[in-house]
Amino acid sequence: MKKQGLDPTDVRILSAVQAHGRLSKTKLAELVNLSPTPCWARLERLRTLGYIKGYHAQLEFDKICDISQVYVTVSLTHHRKSDFERFEKFVMACAEITDCVTTGGGMDYVLKVVTPSLVAFQQVMDDMLAADIGVDRYITHIVTRQVKSSQPDVMRLALGQGGPMRRP
């Protein structure tokens, strides 16, 4: 446990919450193998310290509506702090951009854009270019099939375990 003094019990609590979302005091204590009151106190401490950002449902969008997912790599013309801030302000205000990371090694950003159609996606890109926020070039990668989508395993990360998991 490298960061912020998390002990194995804290990691078990975070792992349980990650896997199951909101849990009753009793169910969480059962999963973590700790009595309910101290388990709940630890959960509250982890929330207060900001280890838990929120609780979310994982939805099956194919059953709800049609969507287009496109990953976009973006390179900015200039690399001043103000250029990055202006671009990121646009990203934060655009609901269709669901994920954005900065990267090193060629491109400045990787975006995940989710829209109801490719026509709607193109409108997002047209709006981005019209906003004059310093985009030099962008490359699109249209998602044709999602193979895997998951959160990192907090237990493996906290324990420093790397490499492929062995399968039975």
Q: What's the CATH code of the domain at 104? A: 3.30.70.920
Q: What's the CATH code of the domain at 50? A: 1.10.10.10
Q: Which residue has the tokens 């106190």?
A: 41
> Residue 1 — pLDDT band, cuts 50, 70, 90?
very low
Q: What angle is formed at CA 93 by the lines to CA 91 and CA 99, rounded to 5 degrees?
A: 45
What token pair was written down for 94? 């655009």
Share of the chain above pLDDT 90, in %: 73
| 36, 68: one domain | no
What is the reported pTM? 0.79
Structural domains counted in the chain: 2
| 97, 66: one domain | yes
Q: What is the pLDDT of residues 119-158, one digit of tens each?
A: 999 999 999 999 999 999 999 999 999 899 888 888 888 8
Residues with Cβ within 8 Å of residue 2, at least 6 apart in sequence: 158, 160
